[in-house]
Amino acid sequence: MEINGRIVVITGGGGGIGRAMASAFADAGAGAVVVADIDGDAAERVAANLRATGHEALGLRCDVSDEADTIAVVDAAVGAYGRIDIFCANAGIVVPGGVEVLDAEWERIWEINVRSHVHAARAVLPAMLERGEGYLINTASAAGLLTQIGSAPYAVTKHAAVALAEWLSITHGDAGIRVSCLCPQGVWTAMTGAPAEDFEAGGDDGLNVENGDGQQRDFAVSTAGRDGMLMPAEVAAAVIEAVADERFLILPHPVVAEYEVRRASERDNWLRRMRRVHAMIMASAKG
């Protein structure tokens, strides 16, 4: 899809990957970027920065676990700009732990990492289908193609996010709906222990990860970051490239494709290798 002139909505746009995508879409010529985030002030700061550089942008508060909030964002975007061409369901959280994690936390991560994508598709699909054109970008994770050591809720919900994106592509692809699923490994964001102020202040360049949450940072590098931690701007660049190609899987870490093939073709061997990795990481975490 040609991005120039398109109306783009991004949830979780107040920081990290979402903030970088907002800048990337604006720089690629989007007609307007609607930035939505549970932190409404952060969303407005991102939008204000875009407006200051000559781009059309709107910042809105949105709790993606509340369907009414997503509908309100869609209504505001359509009211301001007439339509939505690209909807990026990007908001997500991680909950550490296994099956012992309390039901309330399982419900919370399910609402944000999975059901929010359902809400988004439900809100924008009717108008897109009527026009015969639209683009859905769902942020999942390499964990949705592989797994996430140390977090069963994250692995399970990200697998579900990938499955939903595939279903949407299969069901509506012939009706003009394009779908991409973003599946990075480690990215320096607040979720991986990078300090939010580095993203708020000067953008992603010169990020000082040493100021972040040390334990969270070390865990990110030892699990999702084993093949290198990327900056959000690098992930956003991969998104722009994939949209131009209308490519389903967006893999900022290309090696993930190789891992997925091994997982599918040598499942038992893959599980054995992952158990060894799990043991090494857990031993390292204990000091």
User: Which residue shows structure tokens 């209504």?
Assistant: 75
Pick from 210, 209, 206, 253: nearest CA to 230: 253
Instruction: Return d(Cα 258, Cα 239) in angstroms, integer.
Output: 20
Clarify whether 154 is annotated catalytic: yes
* Residue 179: strand, helix, or coil: strand
What does the block give as tokens for 136? 């859905």
What does the block give as tokens for 23? 């800048």
Q: How many residues does the chain have?
A: 287
Distance of CA 230 to the CA centre of its chain: 14
* Residue 32: strand, helix, or coil: strand
Q: How far is CA 50 from CA 32, 53, 54, 91, in A?
A: 10, 5, 7, 20
Q: Are 227 and 254 in contact (CB under 8 A)?
A: no
Instruction: Return d(Cα 176, Cα 229) in angstroms, integer.
Output: 35
State the maximum Cα–Cα separation within the chain, in Å, rounded to a whole number: 58
Q: How many CA atoms lie within 13 A of 167 on its CB side?
A: 9
Q: Are 11 and 91 in contact (CB under 8 A)?
A: yes
Q: Could you say which of 81, 135, 154, 259 is catalytic?
A: 154
Instruction: Return d(Cα 24, Cα 19) in angstroms, integer.
Output: 9
Q: Are 17 and 189 in contact (CB under 8 A)?
A: yes
What residues are annotated to the active site? 154
